[in-house]
Each structure stands twice: as structure tokens, then as C-alpha cells.
Amino acid sequence: MISKSSKIYVAGHRGLVGSAIWNNLKKKGYTNLIGRTHKELDLMNGSEVSRFFDQEKPDFVFLAAAHVGGIIANNNYRADFIYRNLQIQNNVISESFRHNVKKLLFLGSTCIYPKEASQPISEDSLLTGPLEYTNEPYAIAKIAGLKMCESFNIQYGTNFIAVMPTNLYGPNDNFDLEKSHVLPAMIRKIFLSKALMDNNWDTINRDLNVRPVEKVNGESSKDEKVSILGKYGITDKHVKLWGTGKPLREFLWSEEMADACVFIMENVDFSDLIEDKKEIRNCHINIGTGKEISIHDLALLIKETIGYDGEILFDDSKPDGTMRKLTDVTKLNNLGWKHKIEVEEGVQKLYNWYIQNI
């Protein structure tokens, strides 16, 4: 059983989900948390990870460190997404086994499911069909992580649980104009287009100082800024987003994701998830809201939240990815956890966070 003084390692504790898990644990009174930044500990490096576990001997591990990005990053940097994720998770899961970690939570993704899975997607859909092309290497790494947890549990009796979150968003999100996920990308693009339209250079400069785009920051010339933002579809009249706008996506606020992770760490064991003792499989847990919105409607929601009068265009030369990936959250709900924050509220919260952090 986990207790308030258990030694808990949060891998990736500065990231979107890891930071939310860290804060959630602190709020709940856990006092013995360990975290290392990427600079302090490269999880790709097996001997460094081994030394870290020898020294710290954590009892519980949240594996929220990974190489993460949106559709274009996944599609373009395919080798990085499979290699880095396999390496990180192999190192952390194998060291957790070697050090008798009492429970580990591995974070996968709902992109592990077949592109044409029937909707909503239940845990049993795993490995029933071909994957979506744009994130296939990442998905294969995540499937390997899930199977590694399951296999160690079956062969060695460990208690490693794999959770599969839907698309997440929240404080400490990645707002990169090329590599991020859709929700933070849309907020920033629409926000910058509005600032261009309003001729609000103070705001544009602050934004580019916090998050320079291809070396262009607040000090660069106006022409350079206009030209670089234009490259990303941001102008003083319109914003050009990716794909057709028709795909449907489901969004979970990262702090709720963290709450679900801590809930599972506190209340669920691998043995609770086994349905067929002869063939143990599909014991992972979907984490989501079970609700979806089209990318087009999401853009309109963000447009309204920001108070943007410009035009929203879609560039269908960019990929749509999976058309639909709605999670079946029956298992999670039956375990006793349910989301509360809907996307309308979440978009407002993330927009508030964004403007407070530029």
C-alpha cells in the first residue's frame, strides 16, 4: 500500500502530466517525492538510470517521461519517436523490476488502437487492426511499454499498470507552433493572429521572447516576425490550421489526468484488472472523458474564447490523422474515477494560463 511517506519517483516531473502528478501528490500530503530534470538524468542512458535507482531506491514510480509531440512531429521524426520512447521506458521499467518497485504506472496513449477501431474504443481493441500512419512508430513504442508491464507482471508478479490517456492539455503544455498538439497550437496561433490584427506588438514581442520561433524573438525586426508567423499560417487577417477540420478528438485536462493516475496508484492493483486468468491481456486502462469535438468546432470555441474576428482556414495538405478516437471509459468509471472538467471550461483555463505565462 502506498503511504504519505512512500518514496515516489515521478519521471518527467517538469512535463505537462508529470508536473500535474507532482502537484497532485504534494496537495494530497505525499512528502517523499523524487524528480530529476532531463539535464540531471538522461533516461535514455541505461547506466545513469541504473545508478539513479541504486541510489534512490524508489518504492513507487510514475513513468510520465517520454518523447512527445503532435501529429507533424510524430510523422516527421519517426525514428526519434520509436527509439527514444523504447529506450526511456525499457530503462525505467527494467530498473523498477530490478529494484522491486512496489507499483509502477506507465503512461501510454490512445493512439495504440487501430485506426479503424469501433467507437468508443475499448481496451479490448488493442492489436485488432492496422495503426494510424502518422504516429505508428510512437504507438508501437507505447504498445511495447504496455506489453512489457503486462509481461513482467505475468512472469515475475510485479504490479506495473499501464494507462492509455486521450489527448491532454493544461498548464506547462507545449506551445511550439510546429511540434505541439492541436489545442495549445490553436490557442497560440489564434492569439498571435489577433495580436497582429490589433497591431499589438508588445504582446507579440512578449510571446516571442518567451517562446522564440526559429530564433525569431522580440528583438527581431517586425518584417522578420510577420514573415516567420506567416510561415505557420498566422496573419493579421486569418489563421490557417491543419487538415480538413473534420477529425474528432477527445480532450482531458492534464490535472484531471494526474488525479486519475494518483487514484489508480492508490486504489488499483494489476490483479484487479485481470479478466481471464488463462490468457492475461488488455489489462490497461483508458483515461479520458468519453466525449468528443471536431477540430473545426474546437477552433470556433477557441476563436470565441479569445474574442478573435479573423478567419479560420484549413490547409488540407496537412494530415488529419485518425478521423475518430473516442475512448470507452467504462473500465475507469467502474474503478471509481470520472472527469469533471469539460473542454469549454478547459479551453478558458488554458487560455488564462497561457496569457499569464507570456
Ligand X SMILES: NC(=O)C1=CN([C@@H]2O[C@H](COP(=O)(O)OP(=O)(O)OC[C@H]3O[C@@H](n4cnc5c(N)ncnc54)[C@H](OP(=O)(O)O)[C@@H]3O)[C@@H](O)[C@H]2O)C=CC1
Q: What angle do CA 78, 83, 86 make, to 5 degrees?
A: 125
Residue 176, interface with ligand X (CB under 6 A)?
A: no
Q: Does 181 bind ligand X (CB under 6 A)?
A: yes
Residues 11-70 contacting ligand F7E, CB under 6 A:
69-70
Residue 242 to residue 230: CA distance in whole angstroms: 14
Confirm whether residue 166 is marked as ligand binding: yes
16 labelled ligand-binding:
yes
- According to the binding rule CB under 6 A, does residue 168 interact with ligand X? yes
Q: Is 320 annotated as a binding residue?
A: yes
Site for ligand X in 41-60 (CB under 6 A): 41-44
Q: Which does 16 bind (CB under 5 to 8 A by kind): ligand X, ligand F7E, none?
A: ligand X
CA dihedral 202, 207, 213, 218 (to 10 degrees): 30
Rule CB under 6 A: which of 227-246 touch ligand F7E? 241-243
- Closest to 256 (Cα-Cα) out of 335, 165, 323: 165
Cα torsion angle, 261, 263, 265, 268, sign = negative
- DSSP H helices in the chain: 16-27, 46-56, 71-76, 78-98, 136-156, 182-197, 201-210, 222-231, 254-267, 295-306, 330-335, 343-356
33 binds ligand X (CB under 6 A): no
Strands 248-249 and 293-294: antiparallel
The C-alpha cell that represents 24 in the structure block = 497532485
C-alpha cell, 119: 467507437
Choose among ligand X, ligand F7E, none what residue 126 binds, the Cβ cut-off being 5 to 8 Å by kind.
none
Among 64, 302, 306, 350, contact with ligand X (rule: CB under 6 A): 64
| b/e burial code for range 69-103 (CB count within 10 A of at least 16 → b) | bbbbbbbebbeebbebbbbbbbbbbbbbbeeebbb
* Span interacting with ligand F7E, options 2-10, 26-34, 199-207, 312-320, rule CB under 6 A: 312-320
Instruction: Work out which of 281, 320, 349, 353 binds ligand F7E, going by CB under 6 A.
Output: 320
Contact between 88 and ligand X by CB under 6 A: the answer reads yes
Per rule CB under 6 A, is residue 295 in the interface with ligand X?
no
Quick one: which segment of 2-10, 14-22, 72-80, 339-347 binds ligand X (CB under 6 A)?
A: 14-22
Report the alpha-carbon distance of residue 132 to residue 136 in Å, rounded: 6
Residue 111 binds ligand F7E, judged by CB under 6 A = yes
Which set of grid coordinates corresponds to residue 180?
505541439
Among 247, 288, 290, 346, binds ligand F7E (CB under 6 A): 247
C-alpha cell at 8: 515516489
If DSSP codes are grouped into helix, strand and coil, which group holds residue 312? strand
Choose, by CB under 6 A, the member of 8, 17, 82, 204 that binds ligand X. 17
* DSSP secondary structure of 253-272: EHHHHHHHHHHHHHH--GGG
The item of ligand F7E, ligand X, none sharing an interface with residue 321, based on CB under 5 to 8 Å by kind, is ligand F7E
Q: State the DSSP code for 106.
A: E
Q: Which does 38 bind (CB under 5 to 8 A by kind): ligand X, ligand F7E, none?
A: ligand X
Residue list 101-160, contact with ligand X (CB under 6 A): 107, 109
Q: Select from 1-9, 86-94, 96-104, 130-138 the region that touches ligand F7E (CB under 6 A).
A: 130-138
* Residue 293: CB minimum distance to ligand X, A: 15
- Residue set of the binding site for NADP(+): 12-18, 107-110, 142, 165-168, 181
Which chain residues interact with ligand F7E by CB under 6 A? 69-71, 74, 109, 111, 134-135, 138, 167, 180-182, 185-186, 189, 241-243, 247, 249, 295, 318-321
